[in-house]
Structure 1
């Protein structure tokens, strides 16, 4: 599978939003916009963030966003990979590029959360060096401390 990962281009915002909605619909059986205001206002909500988009043959197959919390801390949000692109290294490639970007910006800690029942997501983040910090309201929270760039 040939995949190209690039920063979000404004013309790709509609496709990325649809991709995220499809992923949430797959996981939850439906998508409810009221629970996802960041997706509804994606471009403005994540204007100060880095969103990476993975494409294969021009089609979005993965995405992830590094959202700054402070000068030394950032959060990874909206990581998603298409069903037929899973286990091909797409998510790992996106994650490593987001972490590289964080290091280059002087970020020392990256946090994230995922639904506690999503065993594959928990295994993925653990495999990539994230440590579980706690569980709350059905979500598992992680942290990864970064070294210098």
Structure 2
């Protein structure tokens, strides 16, 4: 998902439970990063919640860094939303 200023967002990064733990998620995130580089995006970000520990580990292993953390009480459920960002090209 493109945003102004050469910034891309990865949304709805979900893998069916039957296919988790097989390296498919890592391959998909690397493909998404490569696509963003190929299209000339300078930064890519994604949003998740603090309870997605396995996904967060995958994102940080890929080089994403947490930049924002905030509480969200939408839908009557308390979550801590986190934004992770990856700079694709050196300034």
- Interval of TM-score (by shorter of Structure 1 and Structure 2): 0.7 to 0.9
Give CA deviations for 1:97-128 in whole Å, capped at 9, x if unaligned: 11111111110000111011211121111111
Equivalent residues in 2 for 1:1-149, closer than 5 Å: 67-137=1-71, 138-147=80-89
State TM-score, norm by structure 2.
0.82
Helix, strand or coil at the partner of 1:79? coil
Q: Which structure shows the higher helix fraction?
A: 1
RMSD of aligned C-alpha atoms?
A: 1.4
Post-superposition offset of 1:147: 2.6
Which one scores higher on RCO, CA 8 angstroms, separation ≥ 6?
2
> The residue matched to 2:14 in structure 1 has which SS?
strand
* Deviating 4+ runs (over 4 angstroms): none
SS in 1 for 2:55: helix
Unaligned runs of 5+ in 2: 72-79
